[in-house]
Structure 1
Amino acid sequence: MNKNFDVIIIGGSYAGLSAAMALGRSLRKVLIIDSGKPCNRQTPHSHNFITQDGEKPNLIAEKAKAQVLKYDTVMFLNDLAVSGKKIDFGFEITTQSGETYKAKKLVFATGVKDKMPGIKGFAECWGISVIHCPYCHGYEAKQEKTGILANGDFAFHYAQLIHNLTKDLTIFTNGKSTLAQVQTEKIIRHDIPIIEEEIAEIKHENGYLKQIVFKDHTTFELKAIYSRPDFEQYCKIPEMLGCELNEQGYIKVDMFQKTTVENVFACGDNTSPMRSVANAVAAGNFAGAMINNIMTEEEFS
């Protein structure tokens, strides 16, 4: 296997595959490195993505991978990228298996890693009935008995969005509320209860929520609950290379998907709070086009 490429893409899910297609069709030699652990691997169905609405996420990815690999300019490596460094003509990436690969440009489409809170059952329900996005999952939970597991500004934002989908809505702050007084007044005015009791467990059946169990042993029946847990970057190589993160913890990129390090790009969930398949595909496609445009300008100088 030739170990020198025009572009190495780290992360072979929706954003990475989309970037690879744009680059591969532009006759760029591309290597995709992917460890096979997408953040939505528990999610049963993907929505709000035209032509693929309701499809299983892994089937979308498998179809995309098959289409991308029809281009002989693109190679796919099942491995984990563990380190990277700047070299004279570009970058060198080392994988978990001990192999090294070189490229002129890098794309990080590595997503983020959600930090599951210490609530029994949360992780098992994540992406199934504990959900993060009303655009991805809200229609399927419409008019159902629904909760919001959040506090402060996040809780208020969710309340505004989700009240449009169901009026049987309750906010669980999992401790003392940090909502501002004006936010609390608006929430109460829309008949949305705020419960501050701490949560001990989420009872479920195969990831489908049945009830919340509080630390005082009382319970609350629900069909779905929205939450946005803390996260960290799944891949640490961008930070190793000097890429800056913004205040929210996303990789900082400009309007061309460029990071703060020259010739390093990023796209998808690692750069944006809009976590959806459609957004990842769009960002990857744009990143690929921008990289090819930069390379053509360099070659044509």
Structure 2
Amino acid sequence: MLIRFWGTRGSLAKPGPTTLRYGGNTSCVEVRTADGTLIVLDCGTGAHGLGQSLESGGLPLRGHLLITHTHWDHIQGFPFFAPLFGPRNEWDIYAPGGLGQELERTLAGQMEYTYFPVTLEQLGATIRYHDLVEGSFALGGVRVVAKYLNHPALALGYRLEVGSRAVVYSVDHEPHAPHVVDANTRALAGVGVPPVHAEDRRHVEFLAGADLVIHDAQYSLDEYSQKTGWGHSPAEWAVDYALAAGAKRLALTHHDPLRDDQAVDRLVEVCRRRSAAA
């Protein structure tokens, strides 16, 4: 699988000179497989750049858009995603369902004429909408496993499996309960100590053995005490999750809009030391 990050910011887009290296656009990740399957994870402001790149090929597009949830930073790029306007293109769009608001109605809401000059019905592409619950399904040669995340809005994480390879996309997720955070204690255990809450253990199982885990890391552990219940993870606990799951690589994402490149560098270094101590 080929993975490309088009948006790594959380909550609010923050493009500018202080976010050039890690990016200022909100969540959007492109996934391509060897058989040509195109999967887009979330449709934040980063989707605009992705759309321009896809359209530059000049060929009809067949793609799948997996939305974790419909908070604005994950769908605000949708009206500006150029491949939705092309009549030769086909898109299947997936998001959590079950709270009485269908995906199509939600996306249409932010494109009402009061807010945007083109309505959902005027998009030229063939679009099919899918409301999801936990479970698994196939997209071409990709097995997709959807699992609920711990967030104030109904949200799903996605595990993409192709043969023996696996990538997990888990943003906007908060631990269900505190777990072992002392590096010395964890080092004595030999690997990351699994969280104690049953739902946290399920989350570790969801990440298990992945070649790449893309995980929410909006806050530092010091900041988290003031952000409990907001639906996001401390970066240090993303490390603990990945260690406990035996993941090969961890990508920290959904960076706080107030965290500039230098601050992200410092947080990454904290996480590297934490991992090395395990």
TM-score normalized with structure 1 length: 0.29
TM-score normalized with structure 2 length: 0.31
Greater Rg, structure 1 or structure 2?
1
